[in-house]
Amino acid sequence: MKLKSKLNALIQDAFNQANIDQTPLSVSEATKPEFGDYQFNGAMALAKSLGKNPRAIATDIINALDFSSLIRKAEIAGPGFINLWLNPLVLADFCEEARGDARLGIALRTTPQTVVVDYSGPNMAKQMHVGHLRSTIIGDSLANLLDFLGDTVIRQNHIGDWGTQFGMLVAYLEEQQSDGDVSLKDLEVFYRDAKKRFDVDANFADKAREYVVKIQGGDTHCLGLWQQFIDRSLGHCEEVYTKLNVKLSREDVRAESFYNDDLSQVVSDLDKATLLSESKGAKCVFLENDEIPVIVQKGDGGYLYATTDLSALRFRAKNLEADRICYVVDARQSHHFKQVFKVAKNAHFVGTDVFLEHIGFGTMMDKAGKPFKTRDGGTVKLVDLLDEAVNKAHESIRNKEDYSLEALEIKAKIIGIGAVKYADLSMNRESNYIFSWEKMLSLEGNTSVYMLYAYARIQSILRKHNAKIEGKMRISDALEQHLSVTLLRFEDILQRASVDASPHQITSYLYELASLFMRFYEQNPILKEGVDEETKMSRLALADLTAKTIKQGLDILGIEVVNQL
C-alpha cells in the first residue's frame, strides 16, 4: 500500500482547495505516537513565499482537507506542524486487502526497467573469503528487491578467470594430475604451492609463462586444462552460493574471458571516436579534470580491467538492453567506475539515458580499525565463517529431541546463515564496518533470529487456532493502530530501498515491525480465555499479516524462515 502517495495526494487536493499554488512537501512518519500517525511539515516552509503566518497556512490546509476517508483527524502543533491521524476503519480494510493478496497488496511497477546487477565476481584463482560476502549478498538482495517490484532483472557474475596467474595454476594442475586426481579443495593452498613451485623451479616458471600465451592464443590442450580449473573453482563458489541461499547460477556467469575477443575492438572504437591518445607508451583516454588517464592498452599490448569493463558496459547496454546497470563493488573502486562510466558515455557505448550506478560498499575492518587483510594470514575463508555460524545455531535450538537429524540440520542452516546475512545487510552499506565473530554469530537483540522468533510465535498461534480466520478486522487500540500503519508502510519502505539500493532500510523496518508485534503480543491476548470471538479473529488476522510481511521482507533479503525454532 502506498500510504505516503495516498496522503500526499490528499494534501495536494487540500492545497488546490485552499488555492495554494505550490507542490507540497511529502508527508513523513510521525516521530512520536502522540503526534499521530503521519505529519506534514510543509506549512512552515511556505510562510515566507506566501507572506503568511505558518499556523494560519496550516489552518487553511486543514480546513480544505478531506476527512471522509483515510485521514480521520488533523491537528496543528508547535510552529505549524500538521499531525495526521489515520482512520482505523480504512486501515483495517487496507490490511485485509493486503492479507488476502499474494503480493501483500504491493503493486508491480507500471514502467518496469531492465536492470543488470553485477555482483559477487569472485576470482577463480582464489578462495572466497569474508571480503566477498558483501558484494554477494547486497547484490543478491538488490536483485531480489527489484525483481519483486517488477523490474526485469539480469544478474551478472563477472568472475575473474583471465590473466597471467592462470598460466601458473594450469601448469601446476597438469603436473598434479599426472600424480593422481586433484581435488582443488583448498584454492589458497593450491595457489601457494603453485607459487612456491614457480619461484624455485625455473623450468616450471617458463612453462607457466608459455601456458599463459597458449591459453590466450587458443591452444586446445591448455584451454581444456584451464576450463577444468575454472569449472572446479566455480563449483566451490556455487557451494558457497547454495549455503548462502544466493540465487546465482551458471547462467548468470559472464566471465572476464567472455569479453576477451572484443577488447581490441573496444580500443579501435575509442580511437575512431577520437578519444584515444598515447602516453608513456600506453593507449589512454584522458578525461576532463582528471590527471589520471584510463589506460585501455598497456605498452606491451596487453589489455586491462578498464578495457574489459568498457566491453561489458557496451554488451550490457546494447545486447542485454539494460536501462540501469548496477555494479555492487567495493567503494574503493569508485574512481575507477566514475572514469569507466564517463568513457562509456563519451564513446556512446551506452546511451545517455542508461543509468550507470556504482553501488559501493564499505571496507571490512578488523577490531583495531585497520582494513581486514586479504593476504598473509588473518584471512577468514567465507566457508569457515558460514560453517561456524551453522554450528553455533545448531547449539541454540531448543528441544532438539523433537526433530530428526535432517530437520535439525536445515533449521541450523537457516538460523546461522540468516544471522550472518542479517548482520551484514543491516549496516549502511556505504560505511566501513568492523568484522566481529561475536556480532556475526549473535542470536540476540537486533538479529535475524528476533524476526524468526516473532514469525515462529505467530505460526505457533496459527497452528493452535487451526481454523480459518473469518470476520472483519478491527483496529481497537493505539497499539493495533500503530501496528497496522507499520504493516501498510511496507511498500513505501521497499520503494525507498530500491531507489537507494540499501537493504538496511528493509532490516530496520523489519526489526521495528517485529518489535512492535512483540509488544502487541504481550498486551493483546489472542487465544487466551475471555477474548471474544470478533477480537480474536481480528487479532489473528493482524498477526497473520505481520508474519506474511516478515516472511516477504526476509525473502527479499535472501533469508529463509522457520515455523518452529
Partner RNA sequence: GCACUCAUAGCUCAGCUGGAUAGAGCAUCGGUUUGCGGUACCGAAGGUCACAGGUUCGAAUCCUGUUGAGUGUACCA
Our CB check for RNA shows the closer of 153 and 502 to be: 502
Our CB check for RNA shows the closer of 55 and 236 to be: 55
The angle that helices 504-523 and 490-500 make with each other, rounded to 10 degrees, is: 160
Find the shortest distance in angstroms from Cβ 181 to RNA.
29
Enumerate residues 115-144 that contact RNA by CB under 7 A.
123
Give the span between the Cα atoms of 436 and 423, in whole angstroms: 10
The angle that helices 54-64 and 42-50 make with each other, rounded to 10 degrees, is: 110
DSSP letter string over 154-215? EEEB--B--STHHHHHHHHHHHHHTTS------HHHHHHHHHHHHHH-HHHHHHHHHHHHHH
Which three three-digit cell numbers place residue 85?
491521524
Q: Is 216 in the site for RNA (CB under 7 A)?
A: no
Enumerate residues 439-478 that contact RNA by CB under 7 A.
439, 442-446, 449-450, 453, 456-457, 459-461, 464
Stretch that binds RNA, among 193-201, 228-236, 340-348, 390-398 (CB under 7 A): 390-398
Q: Is 410 in the site for RNA (CB under 7 A)?
A: no
Q: Is 282 in the site for RNA (CB under 7 A)?
A: yes
Give the span between the Cα atoms of 28 and 40, in whole angstroms: 7
Q: Are 104 and 552 in contact (CB under 8 A)?
A: yes
Stretch that binds RNA, among 175-183, 304-312, 375-383, 544-552 (CB under 7 A): 304-312
Enumerate residues 61-90 that contact RNA by CB under 7 A.
77-79, 81, 83
Q: Is 48 in the site for RNA (CB under 7 A)?
A: yes
Distances (CA, A) of 134 to 141, 435, 552: 11, 12, 21
- Report which residue type is found at 559: I
Q: Is 45 in the site for RNA (CB under 7 A)?
A: yes
Among 352, 398, 405, 530, binds RNA (CB under 7 A): 398
Stretch that binds RNA, among 15-23, 211-219, 302-310, 470-478 (CB under 7 A): 302-310
Find the shortest distance in angstroms from Cβ 98 to RNA.
21
Stretch that binds RNA, among 132-140, 173-181, 213-221, 289-297 (CB under 7 A): 289-297
Among 522, 530, 532, 533, binds RNA (CB under 7 A): 522
Q: Is 299 in the site for RNA (CB under 7 A)?
A: yes
Residues 6+ apart with CB under 8 A from 23: 12, 15
Distances (CA, A) of 168 to 7, 171, 200, 206, 377: 63, 5, 13, 9, 22
Residues 6+ apart with CB under 8 A from 4: 26, 27, 38, 492
Q: Is 433 in the site for RNA (CB under 7 A)?
A: yes
Among 41, 127, 549, 552, binds RNA (CB under 7 A): 41
CA 7 to mean position of chain CA atoms: 28
Our CB check for RNA shows the closer of 337 and 349 to be: 337
Give the span between the Cα atoms of 269 and 119, in whole angstroms: 27
Find the shortest distance in angstroms from Cβ 105 to RNA.
20
Q: Is 400 in the site for RNA (CB under 7 A)?
A: no
Which three three-digit cell numbers place residue 482?
500503530
Beta strand pairing status for 282-285 and 71-77?
unpaired
Among 116, 385, 542, 565, binds RNA (CB under 7 A): 565
Among 279, 321, 355, 378, binds RNA (CB under 7 A): 279
Q: Is 295 in the site for RNA (CB under 7 A)?
A: yes
Among 434, 470, 477, 478, binds RNA (CB under 7 A): 434
Find the shortest distance in angstroms from Cβ 20 to RNA.
15
Q: Is 379 in the site for RNA (CB under 7 A)?
A: no
Find the shortest distance in angstroms from Cβ 183 to RNA.
25
Find the shortest distance in angstroms from Cβ 45 to RNA.
4
Find the shortest distance in angstroms from Cβ 140 to RNA.
19
Enumerate residues 244-273 that contact RNA by CB under 7 A.
256
Our CB check for RNA shows the closer of 252 and 256 to be: 256
Tell me, letter by letter, the H, E, C secondary structure of 339-365: HHHHHHHHCCCCCCCCEEEEEEECCEE
Give the span between the Cα atoms of 462 and 458, in whole angstroms: 6
Q: Is 100 in the site for RNA (CB under 7 A)?
A: no
Beta strand pairing status for 276-279 and 152-156?
unpaired
Find the shortest distance in angstroms from Cβ 363 to RNA.
5
Q: Are 99 and 47 in contact (CB under 8 A)?
A: no
Exposure class string for 412-444: b at 16+ Cβ within 10 A, else e: bbbbbbbbbbbbbbbbebeeebebeeebbbbbe
Our CB check for RNA shows the closer of 153 and 495 to be: 495
Q: Are 503 and 429 in contact (CB under 8 A)?
A: yes
Enumerate residues 532-561 that contact RNA by CB under 7 A.
none
Choose among 239, 248, 554: nearest CA to 418.
554
Our CB check for RNA shows the closer of 299 and 378 to be: 299
Our CB check for RNA shows the closer of 152 and 333 to be: 333
Stretch that binds RNA, among 138-146, 260-268, 291-299, 374-382 (CB under 7 A): 291-299
Among 176, 428, 476, 535, binds RNA (CB under 7 A): 428
Beta bridge partners of 85: 73
Our CB check for RNA shows the closer of 70 and 296 to be: 296
CB atoms within 10 A of CB 391: 12
Find the shortest distance in angstroms from Cβ 177 to RNA.
26
Tell me, letter by letter, the H, E, C secondary structure of 304-338: CHHHHHHHHHHHHHHHCCCCEEEEEEEHHHHHHHH
Which three three-digit cell numbers place residue 368?
583495531
Binding mask 154-183 for RNA (x = CB under 7 A): ------x--x--------------------
